[in-house]
Structure 1
Amino acid sequence: MERLKDKVAVITGAGSGIGRAAAELMGREGARVVVADHHGQSAEETATLVEAAGGRALPVTVDVTDEGSVADMVAAAVAEFGGLHVLCNHVGGTNPRKDLDLLRMDMDEFDRAVTLNMRSTLLGSRHAAPHMISAGGGSIINTASVAALVGDVLQTSYGAVKAAVVSMTKSIAVQYGPRGIRCNAVAPGAVMTPALENNLPEGVIAALKEGNALPYLGAPEDIGHTMVFLASDESRYLTGQLLVVDGGMTMQSSAAPGRRAMLPG
């Protein structure tokens, strides 16, 4: 299939995990993909995978918190491929050992979370939008999180900044919808990425699985497929929305796992 034929896509944080999966899938669907990551070698590895999947790829090293670096990334995409139609603002995250509760939170980590998640999303969108307008429209896909939708005992900063990403998504959709730009956000639940596996104990991962309505945790490709849909013309009438891709985690009653044992048979 070539659902993204003739489209140029920039994906930040594409060096691993969900970003890498999205890049491979978009390449498979015919997109020309700018694989952007803070780690140049990781970007090059992903670009090799994109081309093996049948797409064209350009690896770019970027600091998404620096406006000049973001501007250079977008300029490289346009210079190499002649335009820009899709932007995935995927870089984000927090340090769970420092992003604690209200009283014990590291305030430097709070500032870092704002910069890494909110500023990067704003900068990417700010520099991509003019080229999308020139192309007759485009799709901006922001990565939020289920942390934006529920409270938690930790990651106070992360939940707050991802909620801000959701709000920013709606504002961009309203401001630039008349110019043909759609802007949506994806809120992944627990996904088995290297970051999750390396930062959470096995007991926590098991609890996350139990908290899902589905009997498994997500894979990076599950979020990547959602991003392909949002990048494609199949979602042409969808904008300003938050797609929650979490295996049913946030819609399930906290009592549901225990109540399953009460069912006969």
Structure 2
Amino acid sequence: MTPDLRGKVVLITGAAGGLGRTFALAFSGAGAQVAVADVNGAGAQETAELIRQAGGQALGLQVNVSDEASTLEMARAVRAEFGGLDALINNASLYAGLERLPFTEIDPAVWDWVMGVNLKGPWLCARAVTPLLRERGAGRIVNIASATVMSGSPLWAHYVASKGGVIALTRVLARELGDDGITVNAVAPGFTLTEASLGLMEDAASYGVGRGALKRAQQPGDLIGAALFFASDASAFITGQTLVVDGGRQFL
């Protein structure tokens, strides 16, 4: 059963395409008004238009999640358009185009770039919208981490470390925002077949198939249930947790 998000306002970062667009369409389908944020402003507008064409309400925003001023403007725009906010989905992430290298060969500038988007970004976005969530007297923050943190995926130290930081940030924010009735949880996907992941390796479409309990590739839609659950009232007494969604691969 899909959680009922009618009357809720949800902000999703990194939603110009891929997993973020999948989330945006799913949240709208559950009744939410959706603010679509992405550094790719045109892509954000496209996602918002898809939602409107399906009969939903959406706002497309160009946002650099690693820039404080940009995230504060994002919060102002959401308030102006929808009057408030009920949930933030911190999905924006650097993933596509990252070269897999031994940690000794990663350029420090690239390391800082990845950390700026993948870890600083969720912090800045949460910081910017917390006043809106507090005004509601409750709220939800859902951070998208990665199952690579559990496996220690080699040759990707910058990405894995950034997502490990997201899990740690999730627990800290849960403790700090509990008094406000705001829950903070994380979803850690396995290798998911998006446009970004398909460009990482030649065998991306079959990568990991047969290595988990479920013998098929992971699709973006496989993450929808976890994200909707953590953003809804169904998870009202769950906070500080990380849910791995990888078809059982980490348990084998």
Alignment partner, residue 57 of structure 1: 58
CA positional deviation for 1:96: 5.9
RMSD: 1.5
For the Cα contact (< 8 Å) 1:30–1:54, is it kept in 2?
A: no
Alignment partner, residue 21 of structure 1: 22
Structure-1 separation of matches of 2:51 and 2:235: 23
Structure-1 separation of matches of 2:12 and 2:118: 14
The Cα offsets for residues 97-128 of structure 1, whole Å up to 9 and x where unpaired, read as: 53521222222111111101110010000011
Q: Report the TM-score when normalising by structure 1.
A: 0.90
SS of 2:51's partner is helix
For the Cα contact (< 8 Å) 2:16–2:40, is it kept in 1?
A: yes
What does 1:89-238 correspond to in 2, within 5 Å? 89-94=90-95, 97-202=98-203, 205-238=205-238
- Which deviates further from its counterpart, 222-231 or 178-187? 222-231
How has the CA–CA distance of structure 1 residues 108 and 95 changed in structure 2, closer, same or farther, with 3 Å as cutoff? farther
Structure-2 separation of matches of 1:44 and 1:34: 10
Which stretches of structure 1, 4 residues or more, deviate above 6 A after TM superposition?
A: none
How has the CA–CA distance of structure 1 residues 39 and 226 changed in structure 2, closer, same or farther, with 3 Å as cutoff? same
State which structure, 1 or 2, has the greater radius of gyration over its C-alpha atoms: 1
Amino acid in the other structure paired with 2:230: L
CA positional deviation for 1:149: 1.3
Structure-1 separation of matches of 2:71 and 2:195: 25
Amino acid in the other structure paired with 2:220: P
Unaligned stretches of 5+ residues in structure 2: none
For the Cα contact (< 8 Å) 2:119–2:162, is it kept in 1?
A: yes
How has the CA–CA distance of structure 1 residues 29 and 94 changed in structure 2, closer, same or farther, with 3 Å as cutoff? closer
Amino acid in the other structure paired with 1:114: M
Structure-2 separation of matches of 1:184 and 1:8: 18
CA positional deviation for 1:207: 3.8
The Cα offsets for residues 215-256 of structure 1, whole Å up to 9 and x where unpaired, read as: 11121121123211111111111110001111111111xxxx
Alignment partner, residue 251 of structure 2: 251
Number of equivalences = 251
